[in-house]
Amino acid sequence: MELTLWTYEGPPHVGAMRIATSMEGVHYVLHAPQGDTYADLLFTMIERRDRRPPVTYTTFQARDLGGDTAEMVKTSVRDAYERFKPQVMLVGESCTAELIQDQPGSLAKGMSLPIPIVSLELPAYSKKENWGASETLYHLVRTLLLPFVLPPNTQRPKRDPHIRPKANIIGPTALGFRCRDDIREVVKLLAEIGVDVNVIAPMGATPDDLMRIPDADFNICLYPEIALTTCTWLTRSFAQPIIKTVPIGVGATRDFITEIGRVADIDVSEALQRSQSDTLGNWDASRISSPANPQASRLPWYSRSVDSTYLTGKRVFIFGDATHALAAARIATEELGFTLVGIGTYSREFAREVREVAKKHGLEAVISDDYLAVEAKVTEAAPELVLGTQMERHIAKRLGIPCAVISAPIHVQDVPARYSPQMGWEGANVIFDSWVHPLMMGLEEHLIGMFREDFEFAEGHMSHLHAAPSQEIRRDLPREMGISEQAIASAGVSNQAVLTPIQVAQEVSGITWSADGEAELKKIPFFVRGKIKRNTEKFASDRGITSITVETLYEAKAAIGK
């Protein structure tokens, strides 16, 4: 057993649902107890879809367990086929059904329906959501394309240079982080360099579309957590190369274009050049009024402008799925000038890549799906900004640290109505705004550092968010989940629950502070105080000092720096 307060991923059958729901013409019969239909809400509420997910549940109850649950599977498969007439059917189990072992996949295959049946074996007690999605996509594509696999070592005929190269975009799914807008942005990028899109899958694809996958010259593996298994199989079976760079961030987008140029053998130098030269200013009248101008990101200029100087060296902790965490680490350090003080992922399959990046920054990566372990690491690192998932928002609230969401798991507020990609040029614009927003504005930071007794702009206050940091998140409590205003008001924020970094540090260390030392410490600006306290205590313990005075504090500061 494992104690879990929050889980980063759902069970694997939710991953399978994400594939089925992303597509058209695919139906999923899920052997599951009554109540597991909650998963429909992920799509109808969090993602606000206007249709029910194409999922039929057997919803067995306790009284059915004595009877023939296998018969319930058959009835559900038959009814679902009759009613929805899908082109392909997925059949699988949820965690409870896995225990009673009715073999629904084989049962369905034995019913001789006139469509392909994909039997899903998703071990719910050892695997999770992304794995489930990846596996489902792989088996679906494999089932449909297996008869057309090329003989081993077949070379693809060389593309006629007069025909534009064609690419598949593999990986975007329902409930993925910003997939909807990422695709649009990537399609725009491809158009700019003269690449056509063959199939986008699974999002929006039909089984017929999947059949056309081999027509493309190469595959863009946009979300490796979902798509890498499938792309690798396609490379083996149809000799289609994979584009592995994920275009999140300005630098990564440039690399993405370069990689496509190399793989597709096309000239992309113009697009790359523009991405360099077009990033300054942007206030010129001709550029604002010309709709013909291709997009370029404003991030480079915004980040270079003097207003951003105070962002230099801000201590940031990054956690999420591997793809988004890796991208965020590069943007944070190379494009925004932050200092990386922690990085981790819950995607164990991509742990190696994350470890490499961590090592480059002298850190040890947090590879864990244990919320409590992540919380401990964030506490220890005492960052000034957390870039994470919906779960890190809980951690950040507890510690009173600003936070922005960069990866699934997400909630309704991260499926916005406005265009908000993470990828490509516009994605970088979105990222600049959303990561900088939770931080204290420069002037306010200076003034709170200088004058500490203001009656309005107190410790940790961030007036551009209209509230203190630990409070600000409360504004986000949406009504969607039906929490009444009274409930919100009466719940409040428990003051004991929100620990400042100082309190956390005090709980950890055993060293005492003299009264004057502690008073001086309180004059250090809020967000860096935790780190300074830790540095000072380390300095003291290294030198055998047991009581920290004002002098010790400044000696430590001089020795270690900020």
Catalytic residues: 307
Q: Which residues contact 386 (CB under 8 A, 6 or more apart)?
A: 316, 317, 319, 378, 392, 395, 396, 401, 402, 403, 404
Q: Does 434 sit near another protein (CB under 8 A)?
A: no
Reference 412, options 480, 475, 465; nearest CA is: 480
Out of 13, 74, 166, 298, the residue judged to bind another protein by CB under 8 A: 13
Neighbours of 85 (CB within 10 A): 10
CB closer to another protein out of 447 and 483: 483
Out of 71, 267, 480, 516, the residue judged to bind another protein by CB under 8 A: 480
Stretch that binds another protein, among 60-68, 178-186, 285-293, 446-454 (CB under 8 A): 60-68
Q: Does 379 sit near another protein (CB under 8 A)?
A: no
Out of 21, 22, 56, 379, the residue judged to bind another protein by CB under 8 A: 56
CB closer to another protein out of 72 and 197: 72
Q: Does 96 sit near another protein (CB under 8 A)?
A: yes
Residue 399: CB minimum distance to another protein, A = 9
Please measure the distance between the N-terminal and C-terminal CA atoms of the chain and give it in whole angstroms: 42
Residue 225: CB minimum distance to another protein, A = 17
CA distance 213 to 144: 10
Residue with tokens 């850190």: 363
Out of 130, 470, 536, 552, the residue judged to bind another protein by CB under 8 A: 470
Residue 54: CB minimum distance to another protein, A = 11
Q: Does 133 sit near another protein (CB under 8 A)?
A: no
Out of 142, 330, 348, 394, the residue judged to bind another protein by CB under 8 A: 394
Q: Does 126 sit near another protein (CB under 8 A)?
A: yes
Out of 115, 288, 491, 559, the residue judged to bind another protein by CB under 8 A: 491
CB closer to another protein out of 149 and 412: 412
CA distance 527 to 550: 20
CB closer to another protein out of 57 and 319: 57
> What angle do helix axes 550-560 and 526-542 make, rounded to 10 degrees?
90
Q: Does 507 sit near another protein (CB under 8 A)?
A: no
Are the beta carbons of 239 and 421 closer than 8 angstroms?
Answer: no
Stretch that binds another protein, among 213-221, 405-413, 444-452, 538-546 (CB under 8 A): 405-413
Sequence length of the chain is 562
The phi and psi torsions of 179 (rounded to 5 degrees) equal -55, -40
Reference 498, options 467, 525, 519; nearest CA is: 467
Burial of 543 (C-beta count, 10 Å sphere; 0-12/13-18/19+):
exposed
Stretch that binds another protein, among 37-45, 161-169, 201-209, 461-469 (CB under 8 A): 37-45
Stretch that binds another protein, among 247-255, 449-457, 473-481, 550-558 (CB under 8 A): 473-481
Q: Which residues contact 442 (CB under 8 A, 6 or more apart)?
A: 307, 309, 310
Query: Could you tell me the maximum CA-CA distance found in the chain, to the nearest angstrom?
Result: 83
Q: Does 478 sit near another protein (CB under 8 A)?
A: yes
Q: Does 508 sit near another protein (CB under 8 A)?
A: no
CA distance 559 to 562: 9
CB closer to another protein out of 334 and 369: 369
